Amino acid sequence: MKRLMTSVAMATLFMTAAASARDLSYASYMPSSHVPNKHGVPVYFDKVTVATNGEITFKTFFGGAMGGAKELLQNINDGVIDSANVIDIYIRSSLPHSALLSDLSTLGDDPLVFAAAMNEYQLLGCPSCKADLAANNTVGLAWYATSVYTLMCKPVVTGLADLKGLKILATGRNGNLAQDLGGTAVSLTTGEMYEALQRGQVDCVIGAGAWLTSYNIKDSIKSVITYPLGSYFGAMFMNLNADVWDGLSAEQKTAMVEPLPELVADVMFDYLAEADDAFAEAKAAGVTLADGPEDFVQAVQTYRAAQRDFAVQGGVAGGVPDAGPLIDDFLKVVEKWRGLVTDEVRGDRQAYADVLRREIYSKLDY
């Protein structure tokens, strides 16, 4: 009888463990060489698996294997995948409030500041952003910012005159900037960038320097104007299908949340370092790197000065009637983080993670 009870107890324990164990899928339309996929999420996944004693494991699908940039949020919603890298500006109708914030990308002069501000505002200060995600059966957990955007071209560009008529791959408000600089904006995802350059569909790219290596476009680019054109800070790269999240135990949720500050810090610091390395490699390979010529800088500054109002107008037209107050609230958070990201924090990824934990992740109610 005792032996039978022991067998029953062991079977019950096994079934309970099997029921609580989760093998979660994560997808990105970007390649495995992209900074978050190479330096960020694999390390984070290992931490979660260790913290849950193997109850939660992960299977990754990079390079668009589970859908492109415009499909991944819907695939989370439908339960096709459990998590994915979601880019709001490609799916504005699904995430209008988040996309509104990302429309301020040309103001993103400090990626560490804007990444922190986006995480705080999305997680603690923007009910409408959360409502958009909830409508898509998704719980957002972490966002990152790219390194500052620059203009990278196949021909040598030395001023505005050289840009006239060139086809420039640019997303969001950077497309309007491309037009103001005299080019023709081309709306493609970054996953299509390599072939677009190879086939002559685009002549230039407004994007992060790290893309030279992570998307392997360095062989196509002959000149870079290094004057900063902002930073995209709306990439939600850690999230879960809401039903999956609700099915986790309190301990499992804690295991998911606890390493998030380090995840954001790792991606941010590695993104910035990779951009520096990519520019150094490009210069060594003969790519022309130049500070912004005067007419170029003036055009960018004129464009940037109007961005708050342009974003409000676009937000209202896109179905966000309170776009002005929402943007102003976000910009207040940005100013808060300008004070928090000190030189000491800027030089130490763990110090950056610690501030993220103190100001944001320790305050999450899950």
Tell me the per-residue pLDDT of 100-145, one tens digit each, with 9 for 90 and over: 999 999 999 999 999 999 999 999 999 999 999 999 999 999 999 9
For residue range 17-44, what is the model confidence (pLDDT) as tens digits?
444 689 999 999 999 999 999 989 999 9
The answer to whether residue 12 scores a pLDDT higher than 60 is no
Q: How confident is the model at residue 217 (pLDDT cuts 50, 70, 90)?
A: very high
- Tokens standing for residue 8: 């029953």
One DSSP character per residue, 1-34 reads -HHHHHHHHHHHHHHHHHHH-EEEEEE-SS-TTS
pLDDT tens per residue, range 331-341: 999 999 999 99
Report the distance separating Cα 349 and Cα 270, nearest Å: 10
Confidence of residue 213 (pLDDT cuts 50, 70, 90): confident
**With bands split at pLDDT 50, 70 and 90, how would you rate the model's confidence at 2?**
very low
| Distance between CA atoms of residues 128 and 188, nearest Å | 28
| Residue 71: CB atoms within 10 Å | 19
> Measuring CA to CA, how many Å separate 224 from each of 117, 161, 178, 229, 292?
28, 15, 15, 12, 9
Q: Which CATH architecture has domain 21-366?
A: 3-Layer(aba) Sandwich (3.40)
Q: Please say whether the beta carbons of 271 and 111 come within 8 A.
A: yes
Go through 107-136 and write b for each residue having 16 or more CB atoms within 10 A of its CB, e for each that does not. bbebbbbbbbbbbbbbbbbbeebbebbeeb
pLDDT at 214: 83
Whether residue 244 is predicted with pLDDT greater than 70 in this model: the reply is yes
- Would you state the structure tokens that stand for residue 42, as one six-digit string? 């694999």
Residue 249's Cβ-side half-sphere holds a number of Cα atoms within 13 Å equal to 13
Residue 107: phi and psi, rounded to 5, are -85, -10
Q: Which pTM value belongs to this model?
A: 0.88
Q: What is the mean pLDDT of residues 171-184?
A: 91
Please state the domain extents for the chain.
21-366
